[in-house]
Amino acid sequence: MQGTVRRATPDDAQSISTIWQVICAERVYTAVNRPFTAAQERDYLLSLSEREGIFVASVEGRVVGFQSLDQWARYTDSFDHVGSVGTFVLPEWRGRGVGRCLAQHTLAFARAHGYEKLVIYVRAGNAQAQAFYRSLGFVQKGVLARQVKIDGQYEDELFMELFLDQ
Ligand SMILES: CC(C)(COP(=O)(O)OP(=O)(O)OC[C@H]1O[C@@H](n2cnc3c(N)ncnc32)[C@H](O)[C@@H]1OP(=O)(O)O)[C@@H](O)C(=O)NCCC(=O)NCCS
Protein backbone atom coordinates (compact mmCIF):
# COMPACT_ATOMS: atom_id res chain seq x y z
CA MET A 1 0.00 0.00 0.00
CA GLN A 2 1.33 3.45 -0.92
CA GLY A 3 -0.19 5.43 1.91
CA THR A 4 -0.05 6.28 5.56
CA VAL A 5 -1.53 4.92 8.76
CA ARG A 6 -2.30 7.23 11.67
CA ARG A 7 -4.49 7.41 14.72
CA ALA A 8 -7.94 8.80 13.91
CA THR A 9 -9.17 12.07 15.36
CA PRO A 10 -12.82 13.13 15.70
CA ASP A 11 -12.41 14.85 12.30
CA ASP A 12 -12.19 11.37 10.73
CA ALA A 13 -15.69 10.45 11.94
CA GLN A 14 -17.34 11.10 8.57
CA SER A 15 -14.79 9.02 6.63
CA ILE A 16 -15.14 6.12 9.06
CA SER A 17 -18.94 6.32 8.92
CA THR A 18 -18.77 6.23 5.11
CA ILE A 19 -16.77 2.98 5.28
CA TRP A 20 -19.35 1.51 7.68
CA GLN A 21 -22.09 2.40 5.17
CA VAL A 22 -20.32 0.51 2.38
CA ILE A 23 -19.50 -2.56 4.50
CA CYS A 24 -22.92 -2.79 6.17
CA ALA A 25 -24.55 -2.60 2.70
CA GLU A 26 -22.50 -5.63 1.66
CA ARG A 27 -24.31 -7.52 4.50
CA VAL A 28 -21.87 -10.44 4.74
CA TYR A 29 -18.74 -9.21 6.51
CA THR A 30 -19.73 -7.86 9.91
CA ALA A 31 -22.25 -8.45 12.66
CA VAL A 32 -22.86 -4.70 12.60
CA ASN A 33 -25.92 -4.35 10.36
CA ARG A 34 -26.63 -0.62 10.72
CA PRO A 35 -23.79 1.78 9.92
CA PHE A 36 -22.67 4.09 12.69
CA THR A 37 -23.40 7.72 11.81
CA ALA A 38 -20.67 10.34 11.77
CA ALA A 39 -22.07 11.74 15.03
CA GLN A 40 -21.99 8.30 16.68
CA GLU A 41 -18.47 7.69 15.40
CA ARG A 42 -17.32 11.08 16.70
CA ASP A 43 -18.77 10.35 20.15
CA TYR A 44 -17.10 6.94 20.10
CA LEU A 45 -13.70 8.43 19.17
CA LEU A 46 -14.03 10.95 21.99
CA SER A 47 -14.92 8.16 24.45
CA LEU A 48 -11.79 6.10 23.83
CA SER A 49 -9.05 5.84 26.45
CA GLU A 50 -5.37 6.54 25.77
CA ARG A 51 -4.93 2.77 25.32
CA GLU A 52 -7.58 2.51 22.61
CA GLY A 53 -7.99 3.96 19.16
CA ILE A 54 -9.08 3.73 15.60
CA PHE A 55 -6.24 3.72 13.11
CA VAL A 56 -6.96 4.94 9.59
CA ALA A 57 -5.16 4.11 6.35
CA SER A 58 -5.09 7.01 3.89
CA VAL A 59 -4.06 7.05 0.26
CA GLU A 60 -3.69 10.48 -1.37
CA GLY A 61 -5.63 12.01 1.49
CA ARG A 62 -8.58 9.59 1.28
CA VAL A 63 -9.33 7.19 4.13
CA VAL A 64 -9.57 3.72 2.55
CA GLY A 65 -9.71 1.54 5.65
CA PHE A 66 -9.53 1.48 9.41
CA GLN A 67 -8.72 -0.83 12.30
CA SER A 68 -10.04 -0.39 15.82
CA LEU A 69 -8.43 -1.42 19.09
CA ASP A 70 -10.59 -1.52 22.22
CA GLN A 71 -10.01 -2.85 25.68
CA TRP A 72 -11.83 -6.16 26.07
CA ALA A 73 -13.76 -4.76 29.05
CA ARG A 74 -13.48 -1.78 31.34
CA TYR A 75 -15.51 -2.96 34.35
CA THR A 76 -12.53 -4.71 35.94
CA ASP A 77 -8.78 -4.36 35.49
CA SER A 78 -8.28 -8.13 35.22
CA PHE A 79 -8.88 -7.85 31.45
CA ASP A 80 -6.53 -4.91 30.93
CA HIS A 81 -4.05 -7.10 29.05
CA VAL A 82 -6.69 -8.12 26.47
CA GLY A 83 -7.75 -6.06 23.47
CA SER A 84 -10.30 -6.58 20.72
CA VAL A 85 -9.83 -5.47 17.14
CA GLY A 86 -11.89 -4.95 14.01
CA THR A 87 -10.67 -4.21 10.48
CA PHE A 88 -12.57 -2.68 7.57
CA VAL A 89 -11.19 -1.83 4.13
CA LEU A 90 -13.16 -0.39 1.19
CA PRO A 91 -13.86 -3.05 -1.47
CA GLU A 92 -11.62 -1.57 -4.17
CA TRP A 93 -8.68 -1.51 -1.74
CA ARG A 94 -8.93 -5.07 -0.43
CA GLY A 95 -6.11 -7.48 -1.20
CA ARG A 96 -3.64 -4.61 -1.64
CA GLY A 97 -1.86 -4.65 1.70
CA VAL A 98 -4.00 -2.08 3.53
CA GLY A 99 -5.06 -4.51 6.26
CA ARG A 100 -1.49 -5.66 6.78
CA CYS A 101 -0.26 -2.05 7.13
CA LEU A 102 -3.04 -1.27 9.60
CA ALA A 103 -2.18 -4.36 11.63
CA GLN A 104 1.52 -3.46 11.82
CA HIS A 105 0.52 -0.13 13.31
CA THR A 106 -2.16 -1.46 15.65
CA LEU A 107 -0.06 -4.34 16.97
CA ALA A 108 2.85 -1.99 17.70
CA PHE A 109 0.47 0.39 19.50
CA ALA A 110 -1.05 -2.50 21.44
CA ARG A 111 2.33 -3.82 22.58
CA ALA A 112 3.41 -0.32 23.62
CA HIS A 113 0.24 0.08 25.68
CA GLY A 114 0.49 -3.10 27.72
CA TYR A 115 -1.72 -5.48 25.79
CA GLU A 116 -0.61 -9.11 25.83
CA LYS A 117 -3.28 -10.62 23.60
CA LEU A 118 -5.89 -9.61 21.06
CA VAL A 119 -9.24 -11.25 20.35
CA ILE A 120 -11.41 -11.03 17.26
CA TYR A 121 -14.86 -12.31 16.38
CA VAL A 122 -15.43 -13.18 12.71
CA ARG A 123 -18.59 -14.37 10.97
CA ALA A 124 -18.26 -18.02 9.98
CA GLY A 125 -18.90 -17.26 6.31
CA ASN A 126 -16.24 -14.56 6.15
CA ALA A 127 -13.40 -16.72 4.85
CA GLN A 128 -11.30 -13.80 3.65
CA ALA A 129 -11.26 -12.14 7.05
CA GLN A 130 -10.40 -15.48 8.71
CA ALA A 131 -7.49 -15.87 6.25
CA PHE A 132 -6.42 -12.30 6.94
CA TYR A 133 -6.35 -12.81 10.72
CA ARG A 134 -4.62 -16.20 10.35
CA SER A 135 -1.94 -14.45 8.27
CA LEU A 136 -1.32 -12.18 11.27
CA GLY A 137 -0.95 -15.19 13.57
CA PHE A 138 -4.45 -15.35 15.05
CA VAL A 139 -5.59 -18.85 15.98
CA GLN A 140 -9.21 -19.99 16.02
CA LYS A 141 -10.40 -20.94 19.51
CA GLY A 142 -14.07 -21.71 19.12
CA VAL A 143 -17.43 -21.18 17.48
CA LEU A 144 -20.51 -19.43 18.83
CA ALA A 145 -23.55 -20.98 17.18
CA ARG A 146 -26.29 -18.76 15.67
CA GLN A 147 -24.55 -15.75 17.18
CA VAL A 148 -25.54 -13.34 14.39
CA LYS A 149 -29.05 -12.84 13.02
CA ILE A 150 -29.27 -10.52 10.06
CA ASP A 151 -32.24 -10.29 7.69
CA GLY A 152 -33.74 -13.24 9.58
CA GLN A 153 -30.74 -15.48 8.83
CA TYR A 154 -28.58 -16.93 11.58
CA GLU A 155 -24.82 -17.29 11.26
CA ASP A 156 -22.17 -18.66 13.58
CA GLU A 157 -19.22 -16.55 14.70
CA LEU A 158 -15.68 -17.79 15.21
CA PHE A 159 -13.46 -16.30 17.83
CA MET A 160 -9.73 -16.06 17.33
CA GLU A 161 -6.87 -14.88 19.52
CA LEU A 162 -3.32 -13.67 19.07
CA PHE A 163 -0.67 -13.54 21.79
CA LEU A 164 1.51 -10.49 21.20
CA ASP A 165 4.69 -12.03 22.60
CA GLN A 166 4.75 -14.59 19.75
C1 LIG B 1 -10.46 -8.71 5.83
C2 LIG B 1 -9.81 -7.42 5.39
C3 LIG B 1 -9.78 -6.44 6.56
C4 LIG B 1 -8.34 -7.72 4.98
O5 LIG B 1 -7.72 -6.52 4.60
P6 LIG B 1 -6.94 -6.45 3.20
O7 LIG B 1 -6.39 -5.08 3.06
O8 LIG B 1 -7.84 -6.93 2.13
O9 LIG B 1 -5.76 -7.51 3.45
P10 LIG B 1 -4.25 -7.45 2.88
O11 LIG B 1 -4.29 -7.10 1.43
O12 LIG B 1 -3.42 -6.59 3.76
O13 LIG B 1 -3.82 -8.98 3.03
C14 LIG B 1 -3.00 -9.42 4.10
C15 LIG B 1 -3.02 -10.94 4.12
O16 LIG B 1 -4.33 -11.40 4.49
C17 LIG B 1 -4.66 -12.57 3.74
N18 LIG B 1 -5.80 -12.27 2.89
C19 LIG B 1 -6.35 -11.07 2.65
N20 LIG B 1 -7.42 -11.18 1.83
C21 LIG B 1 -7.52 -12.50 1.54
C22 LIG B 1 -8.43 -13.28 0.75
N23 LIG B 1 -9.44 -12.69 0.07
N24 LIG B 1 -8.25 -14.59 0.67
C25 LIG B 1 -7.23 -15.20 1.34
N26 LIG B 1 -6.34 -14.52 2.10
C27 LIG B 1 -6.50 -13.20 2.21
C28 LIG B 1 -3.42 -12.93 2.93
O29 LIG B 1 -2.62 -13.80 3.70
C30 LIG B 1 -2.74 -11.59 2.80
O31 LIG B 1 -1.37 -11.70 2.63
P32 LIG B 1 -0.73 -11.77 1.14
O33 LIG B 1 -1.21 -10.53 0.43
O34 LIG B 1 0.73 -11.76 1.39
O35 LIG B 1 -1.26 -13.00 0.53
C36 LIG B 1 -10.54 -6.79 4.18
O37 LIG B 1 -10.57 -7.70 3.14
C38 LIG B 1 -11.94 -6.29 4.49
O39 LIG B 1 -12.13 -5.15 4.90
N40 LIG B 1 -12.95 -7.16 4.28
C41 LIG B 1 -14.34 -6.77 4.50
C42 LIG B 1 -14.61 -6.41 5.95
C43 LIG B 1 -14.29 -7.54 6.88
O44 LIG B 1 -14.57 -8.70 6.60
N45 LIG B 1 -13.71 -7.18 8.04
C46 LIG B 1 -13.40 -8.13 9.08
C47 LIG B 1 -14.53 -8.17 10.05
S48 LIG B 1 -14.14 -9.22 11.44
pLDDT at residue 122 is higher than 90: yes
In terms of Cβ atoms closer than 10 Å to its own Cβ (0-12, 13-18, 19+), residue 129 is buried
The domain tally of the chain equals 1
pLDDT at residue 106 is higher than 80: yes
Query: What CA–CA distance (Å, rounded) separates 85 from 121?
Result: 9
Do the domain assignments include residue 135?
A: no
Question: Domain with 99 in it: what CATH number?
Answer: 3.40.630.30
In terms of Cβ atoms closer than 10 Å to its own Cβ (0-12, 13-18, 19+), residue 7 is middle
Cα of 78 to ligand 1 centre, how many Å? 31
**Residues within 6 Å of ligand 1 by CB:** 23, 29-30, 86-89, 94-100, 120, 122, 126, 128-129, 131-132, 135
pLDDT for residue 3: 87
Atom 28 of ligand 1 has which residue's CA nearest to it? 132
Do the domain assignments include residue 134?
A: no
The predicted-structure confidence for 44-76, as pLDDT tens digits, reads as follows 999 999 999 999 999 999 999 999 999 999 999
Cα of 75 to ligand 1 centre, how many Å? 32
Cross-strand partners of 118: 83, 162
pLDDT for residue 89: 97
pLDDT for residue 123: 96
Q: What is the DSSP letter of 68?
A: E
Domain that holds residue 52: 4-119
Do the domain assignments include residue 83?
A: yes
